[in-house]
Chains A and B, each alone.
Chain A
Amino acid sequence: MSNEMIRQGHPREMTGPLKWLRDNLFNNWYNGILTVISLFFIFVVSKAGFTWIFFEASWEVIPANLNLFMTGMYPPEEKWRIWTVVYMLAFLAGISAGIWGGIILRFALISTAVSLLLAVLPFESITRLLLLGAAIFLTASLLLGRGRTGWRSVVLWGWVLSFPLTVIMLRGFGESGVLPAVMTTRWGGLLLTLILASVSIAASFPLGILLALGRRSRLPAVSWFSISYIEVVRGIPLVTILFMSQIMLPIFLPDFRIDKIIRAMIGLTLFSTAYMAENVRGGLQGVPRGQYEAAEALGLSYSLTMVLVILPQALRSVIPAIVGHFISLFKDTSLVAIIGLLDLLGIARSIIANPDWLGLQTEVYLFAAFIYFMVSYSMSRVSRRIELALGIERK
């Protein structure tokens, strides 16, 4: 349309940045006023923020405690184990990105960018080198995986196995030897936050599917049980569930000694399962009845119908919702700080309480907030991409 106008030689027609300014900021009088107010507001806020960040804040608290922020009290001489896990995951992510491409490729690229970004942060030089190495390693495995469709099932099994492997590597066993046990009480910081979030997501995924199927079951006993579980858990706050898992688990299971972190994981999983079930149910409702009928007409049993026909379609459509759920769970893990675990937020609080760093709560909280923001924001971008990709596919 604007081209037409230019051809007609409209007298007041402007082009380039001026036109943009008029169309987007000064198209009528109240927008003009709004623009001026906004500009003033941005100026005041960014000036104050800028001055504080670069001249007033004492950022030395961050590099001095960076290890605490990242891994808590994990013994430094055992750090290589964390790095092994990071490299293993980088390898798997790279290979998968090479094989499947698409969204996974984008995710791998974002991970590479993040680790490059982290390498800029004031870590020890060895850490920065290792981060750089991880980025290169990921890219290399990406190139290795390109077009190797034959590796698909191997890689999938690799992902499944990576889970227990991670736990074994981090936890270790025995007093000494190659992998001396690192008590979970020493796990902390971002490491703990990520572990809590991924364990509860991974555990709640199959449970959530079962509950969702249960809710839609034609057997009233099963559906009633599923509905009451889902609605009760969704009706009460996560803090309550976390406290309950801390206090009640030892009462209900007096014969087991379950450590604090495991109890928190159980609480988070019980919580997450209800929401996961609702997400999956949304996907199940989106599968047309005809799909069930076609599978039934082929003579497939209930479980085969679900596994081969219904769930693959339902789960595909709820990937964005599940990523969204993972984001909120990632943020919600900060609640374990209330029950005394030293996750990212818990560590931040303990640093503030340390007399050496008195009065630096602003810097510490802002740094923690920055990390949470980076992880959560980048994941929500990925999720939006997936949503777009799925939308296009459906067309």
Chain B
Amino acid sequence: MQTQTIPDKINFWRNVIVLRIVMQALFVIAIALVAGLLYTNMLRGLEGLGLTFNFEFLKQEAGFGIAEGIDYAPSDTYFRAFQVGALNSLKVSVLGIIFATLLGLLFGVSRLSGNWLVRKIAAFYVECFRNIPLLLQILFWYTVVILQLPPVRESITLFHNIFISQRGIYIPWLKPMPGFAQWAGYIAAGVILPVLIYILKGRKSGTKDFARFAVTWGLPVFTCLAVSGWYMSPQTPLVLEVPVLQRFNFTGGVRLSPEFSALLIGLSVYTSAFIAEVVRGGIQSVKEGQVEAAKAVGLNESQTLRLVVLPQALRVIIPPLSNQHLNLAKNSSLAIAVGFPDLFNVGSTMMNQTGQSIPVFTLIMASYLIMSIIASLFLNWYNRRVRIIEQ
């Protein structure tokens, strides 16, 4: 279609197209030269250290202990150790994201409160925690707060069942009993069945509103199966286990180590200060006229908030919010400062033991990049959805 019939009797060094290609080629060559130089240097450096660039060492025995995380023994492989670290990172990030979002919502809304004192307290919280480096905050929570707590025998008790001491925080937790596997089957069915129905129904009628379907179909089906499964199982599937003080320590329940707690609190509080600003900005971005229009139509205050303000504010909030979530996940790498065995901490131990810094860095970078890519895929999906709704 776009035939090139423009007479190209031009000296080629003055042709725009040729120049464009030449410039790119030069750029690529320059980058390749630098990369090549670095690469040969790297090979030379590795040779000097007696190493080669490969991932074979991952199959070797790690030989170092990891304080917490999924099942692991020093006799396991390096790869297993890395998995433990990755899961620990995931755990602290997910919990941190939940707490940071809740705190951020609370303080963000408080900054717009009609109450002058509440507004000022929220502003103080935000300014205080976002202007002090996160690392300092984590170290502060760790050395000043948690390590100064009373010893185990004098633990602070909350609600009779939560015990806080230097050794960490002990909270009651659900313990699976023998009947658990059977009940888990019911739960799985409760999730899968509605999804199947949704897919089958969706193919017929073309409905795509998942949220509505989840409420009208998914939730009832799930509740029915979960409840009946609970009573059908021979033994109660889950028991709430309360920590009990033995001679030297608590048993039962779940222990949040001091390192984990300090990191979690630090990440949540720091990020919540930024999320509070995001929330405030989002709510303020909704024009005054929208609220007035909603009132004019006769909506009451909570309806106005729920039906008019929030949907519009969310559109502004979600992108920077997920950015903050991503920041929190990346910042969880500060675990190394308090010795929590996250992805990066385990990775650096591996580096010290094997000297394989380049492969380990590659693994670490790949893990974080996968996380960022997932987040940006989500954001792209969300933005596309929002744009469709707007049209």
Q: Chain A interface (Cβ within 8 Å of chain B)?
A: 24-25, 27, 31, 34-35, 38-39, 41-42, 218-222, 225, 231-232, 234-240, 243-244, 247-248, 250-255, 327, 331-332, 334-335, 337-338, 345, 348-349, 352, 361-362, 365, 368-369, 372-373, 376-377, 380
Contacts and interface: CB of A to CB of B under 8 A. Distances in A.
A240 B118 contact: no
Contacts of A252: 38, 41-42, 45
A252 B117 CA distance: 56
Given A27-B114, A221-B27, A252-B42, A380 B131 contact: yes
B127 interface: yes
A72 B351 CA distance: 30
B41 A253 contact: yes
Contacts of A27: 114
Given A251-B45, A337-B135, A365-B136, 18 more contacts: A34-B115, A38-B115, A38-B117, A39-B117, A220-B24, A225-B31, A235-B368, A237-B330, A237-B331, A239-B336, A243-B348, A251-B41, A251-B357, A334-B133, A338-B135, A349-B139, A352-B143, A372-B132
Nearest to B327: A237
Interface stretch (B177-185, B282-290, B358-366): B358-366
A193 to B, nearest CB: 10
A186 to B, nearest CB: 23
B46 interface: yes
Given A235-B372, A247-B351, A373 B27 contact: no
Interface in B105-155: 113-118, 121, 127-128, 131-137, 139-140, 143-144
Given A41-B121, A254-B45, A377-B131, A219 B24 contact: yes
A337 B140 CA distance: 14
Interface in B335-391: 336-337, 344, 348, 351, 357-358, 361, 364-365, 368-369, 371-373
A252 B44 CA distance: 9
How big is chain B's contact interface, by range? 35 or more
Given A240-B344, A334-B136, A248 B131 contact: no
Nearest to A236: B368
A369 B139 CA distance: 11
B48 interface: yes
Interface in B80-128: 113-118, 121, 127-128
25 contacts: A24-B116, A42-B121, A221-B24, A222-B24, A232-B365, A232-B369, A235-B368, A239-B344, A240-B344, A240-B361, A240-B365, A247-B357, A250-B45, A253-B41, A254-B44, A335-B334, A338-B135, A338-B337, A345-B133, A345-B136, A361-B143, A365-B140, A365-B143, A372-B136, A373-B128
A220 B368 CA distance: 26
A222 B22 CA distance: 12
Top 4 A-B pairs ranked by shortest CB distance? A235-B372, A24-B116, A334-B133, A237-B333
A156 to B, nearest CB: 31
B204 interface: no
Contacts of B116: 24-25
A58 B41 CA distance: 53
A254 B336 CA distance: 27
Contacts of A247: 351, 357, 361
Contacts of B365: 232, 235-236, 240
Nearest to B48: A254
B203 interface: no
A142 to B, nearest CB: 27
Given A239-B336, A254-B45, A338-B135, A34 B24 contact: no
Interface in B26-81: 27-28, 31, 38, 41-42, 44-46, 48
B41 A361 contact: no
B296 interface: no
Nearest to A234: B372
A217 to B, nearest CB: 9
A361 B144 CA distance: 6
A24 B115 contact: yes
Contacts of A250: 45
